[in-house]
């Protein structure tokens, strides 16, 4: 359902933000809408801008413990009308669809970027559903010092062209390789990741197990399933705000016959 929201009312909120934060007036975001109507639900909103131009935004009101989130990224491959982002390859099996790297014999990342459309933000909240194809081995083998390369078998989420790390979602065929594993072969994360990651191992066939959902962790990676917030990742930059675009990359440091981590669902919000 589309609700019409008139900018002539919201502009008051917008100008208020401008004067108190002392930067130029920004695009209307979901926290503006929520400030005006505290009880709004998660929904699509149609913003009527100057001169009658309109645009749609989706607001999440119950994400990472609060409301007023503007959605930047959304992929739901269970919806047959949706297709993979440009530069990703479709995996399809038994009615499940997901998006991974184009076929290659080498390490690579498939990338998609989500512009903030001028919305200034200080928090990011999101979740990603991935699957294991063949034998991804987490952080083993990749060039771990280089955030620009395939440092992980999994999903890398960064912001801005200098790739400020946001979250890493690690996939491993062995439950022993996750950084949180207790099996004695745990791989440490590179320093730039800090504590901002989820890791899960999956056995068996493609689509047999959903990664990073906080369920069905096995044996020594059980602790990974109790990561705070999982499946939602949350970054709060405090008083630091940015309009950086957000980038999601599916990476592997070996060829796609050997390993891939196709994603079937993601949603990423800012405020």
Ligand X SMILES: *[C@@H]1O[C@H](CO)[C@@H](O)[C@H](O)[C@H]1NC(C)=O
For 47, list phi and psi in degrees, rounded to 5: -95, 125
Closest distance between ligand X and the C-beta of residue 38, in Å? 5
| d(C-alpha 1, C-alpha 3), whole Å | 6
Q: CA distances (Å), 240 to each of 36, 125, 171, 204, 235, in order? A: 24, 16, 31, 43, 12
Binding flag, residue 8, ligand X (CB under 6 A): no
When binding is defined by CB under 6 A, the residue of 3, 12, 55, 76 that contacts ligand X is: 76
Contact 254/105 with Cβ under 8 angstroms? no
Q: CB nearer to ligand X: give 71 or 175.
A: 71
- Asked if the bond preceding 64 is cis, omega within 30° of 0, the reply is no
Q: CB nearer to ligand X: give 19 or 239.
A: 239
Closest distance between ligand X and the C-beta of residue 148, in Å? 4
What are the beta bridge partners of residue 198? 169
Contact 231/200 with Cβ under 8 angstroms? no
Closest distance between ligand X and the C-beta of residue 239, in Å? 4
Within 151-170, the residues that bind ligand X by CB under 6 A are 161-163
Closest distance between ligand X and the C-beta of residue 128, in Å? 12
Binding flag, residue 38, ligand X (CB under 6 A): yes
Q: CA distances (Å), 43 to each of 46, 56, 241, in order? A: 10, 10, 25
Binding flag, residue 53, ligand X (CB under 6 A): no
Binding flag, residue 1, ligand X (CB under 6 A): no
Within 235-254, the residues that bind ligand X by CB under 6 A are 238-239
Enter the tokens of residue 14.
């917008």
Q: CB nearer to ligand X: give 79 or 257.
A: 79
Within 94-153, the residues that bind ligand X by CB under 6 A are 146-148
Name the site residues for ligand X (rule: CB under 6 A): 38-39, 76, 78-79, 146-148, 161-163, 238-239
């Amino acid at each position: 359902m589309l609700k019409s929201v008139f900018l002539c009312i919201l502009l008051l909120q917008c100008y208020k933000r401008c004067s108190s934060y002392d930067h130029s007036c920004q695009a209307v975001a979901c926290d503006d809408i929520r400030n005006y109507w505290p009880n709004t639900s998660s929904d699509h909103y149609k913003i009527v801008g100057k001169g009658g131009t309109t645009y749609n935004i989706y607001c999440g009101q119950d994400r990472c413990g609060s409301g007023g989130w503007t959605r930047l990224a959304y992929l739901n491959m269970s919806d047959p009308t949706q297709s993979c982002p440009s530069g990703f390859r479709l995996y399809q099996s038994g009615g499940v669809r997901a998006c991974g790297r184009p076929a290659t014999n080498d390490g690579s990342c498939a990338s998609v970027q989500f512009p903030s459309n001028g919305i200034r933000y200080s928090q990011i909240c999101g979740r990603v559903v991935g699957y294991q194809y063949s034998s991804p081995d987490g952080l083993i083998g990749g060039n771990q010092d280089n955030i620009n390369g395939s440092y992980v078998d999994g999903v890398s989420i960064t912001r801005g062209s200098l790739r400020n790390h946001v979250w890493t979602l690690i996939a491993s065929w062995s439950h022993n390789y996750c950084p949180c594993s207790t099996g004695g072969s745990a791989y440490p994360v590179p320093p730039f990741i800090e504590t901002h990651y989820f890791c899960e191992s999956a056995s068996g066939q493609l689509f047999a197990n959903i990664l990073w959902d906080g369920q069905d962790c096995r044996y020594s990676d059980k602790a990974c399933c109790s990561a705070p917030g999982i499946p939602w990742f949350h970054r709060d930059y405090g008083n630091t705000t940015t309009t950086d675009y957000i980038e999601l990359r599916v990476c592997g440091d070996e060829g796609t016959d050997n390993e891939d981590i196709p994603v079937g669902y993601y949603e990423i919000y800012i405020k």
